[in-house]
């Protein structure tokens, strides 16, 4: 039996989102039955924030789905994502970079990643601070098994004016990096915007939005810290 609203929600979102913007369905905590409804409605990109949940779902769902890891990634869980994850959105420290390089290197695989920038300088959130970005890029350039395809941000909770300020600044960083040539780094994906602010994010240049509540409805638990949808 179909869960009322998922198909309609996706259709409504697709009517608002330009074709060149990727819709990532944030499916964390949701059962495969609801993911199936989203799949039937045309979704092929799903986002999870727990390694164990991503792995389990990937082994029991359609082979043509692209799994995105969008949560804070613990170093000791990196090895489980090899051959399972399409894109890691939360590359936010040199120590994590080194772990990804090590475990993907052992498997002779390339890890596709986005640099997570802590654009709001929030202590509760992970990510690279602006002033540390170029030091981080130097570390990425030394890797053999990590490829950076863009930037992801989770902005501080605020009003539209505040949201727009953070999105605009992130786009400036994205454009600046795009003009330069760095080994292992290309600026193709700008992942910013969630259910409550995705239209503002798109207006400011996002080409990937992470929508959970707007597709699957409210989750029945309280998330501590940054939810990433």
| Domains of the chain listed by start with CATH number | 4-8+20-211 (3.20.20.10)
- 157: tokens are 């909770």
- 1: tokens are 């039996």
- Give the per-residue pLDDT at 30: 96
pLDDT along the chain (229 residues), means of 10: 76 96 97 97 97 98 98 96 98 97 98 97 93 97 98 95 97 97 97 96 98 87 49
- Give the per-residue pLDDT at 218: 81
- Give the per-residue pLDDT at 142: 97
- Give the per-residue pLDDT at 226: 47
Residue whose C-alpha is closest to residue 128's, from 148, 143, 111, 142: 148
- Give the per-residue pLDDT at 221: 44
| Cβ neighbours of residue 21 closer than 8 Å, sequence gap 6 or more | 202, 206, 207, 208, 209
**Burial classification of residue 147, based on how many CB atoms lie within 10 Å of its CB (0-12 exposed, 13-18 middle, 19 or more buried):** middle
Cα→Cα distances 40→9, 31, 37, 116, 151, Å:
13, 15, 5, 31, 29
Distance CA 191, CA 210 (A): 8
- Give the per-residue pLDDT at 124: 87
- Give the per-residue pLDDT at 227: 55
| pTM passes above 0.85 | yes
């Amino acid at each position: 039996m179909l869960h009322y609203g998922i198909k309609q929600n996706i259709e409504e979102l697709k009517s608002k989102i330009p074709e060149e913007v990727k819709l990532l369905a944030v499916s964390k905590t949701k059962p495969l039955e609801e993911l199936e409804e989203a799949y039937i409605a045309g979704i092929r990109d799903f986002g999870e924030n727990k390694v164990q949940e991503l792995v389990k779902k990937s082994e029991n769902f359609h082979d043509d789905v692209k799994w995105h890891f969008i949560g804070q990634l613990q170093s000791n869980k990196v090895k489980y994502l090899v051959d399972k994850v399409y894109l890691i959105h939360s590359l936010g420290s040199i120590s994590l970079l080194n772990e990804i390089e090590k475990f993907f290197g052992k498997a002779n695989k390339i890890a596709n990643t986005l640099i997570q920038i802590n654009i709001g300088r929030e202590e509760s959130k992970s990510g690279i601070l602006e002033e540390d970005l170029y030091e981080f890029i130097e570390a990425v350039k030394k890797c053999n098994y990590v490829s950076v395809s863009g930037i992801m941000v989770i902005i501080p909770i605020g009003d539209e004016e505040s949201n727009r300020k953070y999105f605009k600044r992130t786009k400036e960083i994205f454009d600046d990096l795009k003009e330069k040539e760095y080994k292992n780094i290309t600026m193709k994906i700008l992942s910013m915007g969630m259910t409550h602010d995705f239209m503002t994010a798109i207006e400011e240049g996002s080409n990937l939005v992470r929508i959970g509540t707007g597709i699957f409805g409210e989750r029945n638990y309280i998330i501590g810290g940054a939810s990433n949808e």
